[in-house]
Amino acid sequence: MIDILNILLSESFWAASLRIASPLIFGVLGALLCERAGVLNLGIEGIFVAGAMAGWMAVWLGAGLWGGVFFAMLAGAALGLIHGILTVPLGLSQHVSGLGVTLFATSLSYFVYRTSLPAVSSPPRIEPFRALDIPILSDLPFVGPVLFQQTALTWLALLLVAVIWYVMNRTPLGSALRAVGDNPDSVDAQGLSVYALRIGAVVAGSSLMALGGAFLTMSAFDAFFFGMVNGRGWICIALVIFASWQPGKALLGAMLFGAFDALQVRLQTEVGALVPGQIFLMAPYLLSILALVIAARRADYPRALLTPWFKGQR
C-alpha cells in the first residue's frame, strides 16, 4: 500500500500519466467533435495510424517537426472528408464507413511505409519534440517537473481542451454544432447547412485524431512501428462516452486513464514476478470496457447520433 502511495506522490508518475494521456486527449476531442455533430467516426483507429505515419514521414523527409504536425493533420482531414462524404450527404452506415476508413488508412499507411522503406531491419529514427523547458517555472516543486517535462504537443493538447470547450459552449458555431447533433431540422430551418456543419466537424475532428497519432511518432517515440496505435483509437471512442461529450470530462477521463496506465507499468516492476505481465497489458482495454459499462446507461447521447439526414425530407 505504501508503495502505491509513494508512486502516486512521485513527480515522474504524474509526468508519465500526462504523457500517456496526451494522444488520448487529441483522440477523445476529435471523437467528441464528430459525435457532437451526430457522426460516429470509427475511422479513428486508422486515422491515428495515418497521422503517426504521415507526421513521422514528413519529418523524416525534412519537413521539420511542425511541418510533420501539419501533414499529419492534413492526412487526418483527408480521411475525415472521405468519412464525412460517405456518411453525411450519402447517409451510409456510419459503422461500416468508419471501419472501412480504418482499414483503408491502416493499409495505406503500411503500404506507403513499406514501399518507401523497403528493407530496413530497424526503423529509421527522427529527432522528436523535446520537453519545453521554461527556466524558473520548471524549477517549481512538483508542478515544474510534471508540466515542464512535457513536449509542445502535450501543451497543445491541453490548450485544445480549453479551445474546444469555449467554441462548443460560447460561440455561435458551437451552438450550431450541438444543434445539428441533436436535431438537424433545427439547423436547416434556420437556413444553415446541415451537410457543411457535419462534414466540417468530421474533418476537424479527424485532423485532431491524426494529431493523436502524430504524438506517438513525434513525441512519445521517434519512429513508426506496425501496430503502434494498438487500439488507442477504440479506447478514445469508449472514453468519449465516459466523458458525456464534454471537453473537460474528456481531459479528466484521459488523465485517469493515463494515470492508471502509468500505475500499472510501475506496479508491474514491483510485483512482476508474481503475476504474468500480460495481465497488466490487458488492463487498459478492460478498464475502457468498464468505463463504458458504467457510463453507458447514464450517457446523454447526442440525439441525432448515427441518424442520417437528407435535405428536403422531413
Partner 1 sequence: MGKVLALKGLSKRFGSVQANEAIDLDLNKGEVLALLGENGSGKTTLMNMLFGHYLPDTGSIDVADRQGSLQPLTLGHPQISLTKGIGMVHQHFTLAENLNALDNIVLGTEPLISFKRNTGSALKKLEKIMHETGLFAPLDVSVGKLSVGERQRIEILKALYRDVRILVLDEPTAVLTPQEADDLFDNINTMAKSGLSVIFISHKLREVLSFSQRIVVLRQGKKVGELVTNKTNESEIAHLMVGGGVKSAERETCTPGKAVLQLNQVSITGRSKRDSLFDQSLEARAHEILGIAGVSGNGQAALASLIAGLEVPENGSILIDSSEIEKPTPKKMIGAGVGRIPEDRHHEGIIGTMNLADNLIIEKLDDQEIQNFGILKRSKIKTNAAHLCKSYDVRGPGVDAEARLFSGGNIQKMILARVFEQNPKLILANQPTRGLDMGASAEVRRRLLDARKNGAAILLISEDLDEVLALSDRILVMHDGNLIPAETRDRAQIGLLMAGTAA
Partner 2 sequence: MRIEPRSKVSKTLIISVPILSSFAALLIAAIPISFAGANILQAYQEMFFGVFGSVFSFSEMLTRATPLIFTGLAAALAFRARLWNIGAEGQLYLGALLSVVVGTGYFDLPPLLLTPVIILCGAMAGAVGMAVPTFLKVRFGADEVVTTLLLNFVILIFIQMMLEGALKDPMGLGWPQSSPIVEEAMLPKLLPRMRVHSGLILAIVCAVVVHFMLSRTVWGFRVRAVGENAVAAKYAGIPVHRSLFMVAIFSGALAGLAGVSEVAGLKGYLTADLSPGFGYTGIVVAMLAGLSPLGVVLAAIFIASVFVGADSMSRAMGVSSYLADLVVALSLLSVLVGGFATRFRIVWSKRQPGDNG
Site string for partner 1, 160-179 (x = CB under 8 A): ----------xxxx-xx-xx
The nearer residue to partner 2, 103 or 163, going by C-beta atoms, is: 103
* Size of the residue set binding partner 1 (CB under 8 A): 24
User: String of b and e for 257-276 (b: at least 16 CB within 10 Å)?
Assistant: bbbebbbbebbeeeeeeeee
Contact between 209 and 41 under an 8 Å Cβ cutoff? The reply is yes
The nearer residue to partner 2, 153 or 241, going by C-beta atoms, is: 241
Contacts with partner 1 in 256-285 (CB under 8 A)?
A: none
Which cell numbers in the block locate residue 6? 509513494
Which cell numbers in the block locate residue 283? 488492463
Integer angstrom CA distances of residue 192 from 83, 186, 280: 21, 9, 49
183 binds, among partner 2, partner 1, none (CB under 5 to 8 A by kind): partner 1
Q: Is 314 in the site for partner 1 (CB under 8 A)?
A: yes
The candidate with the shortest Cα–Cα distance to 242, out of 286, 292, 298, 300, is: 292
Site string for partner 1, 187-226 (x = CB under 8 A): xxxxxx----------------------------------
Q: Is 59 in the site for partner 1 (CB under 8 A)?
A: no
Q: Is 186 in the site for partner 1 (CB under 8 A)?
A: yes
90 binds, among partner 2, partner 1, none (CB under 5 to 8 A by kind): partner 2
Which cell numbers in the block locate residue 206? 479527424
CA distance 158 to 175: 22
Q: Rule CB under 8 A: which residues touch partner 1?
A: 170-173, 175-176, 178-183, 185-192, 302-303, 312, 314
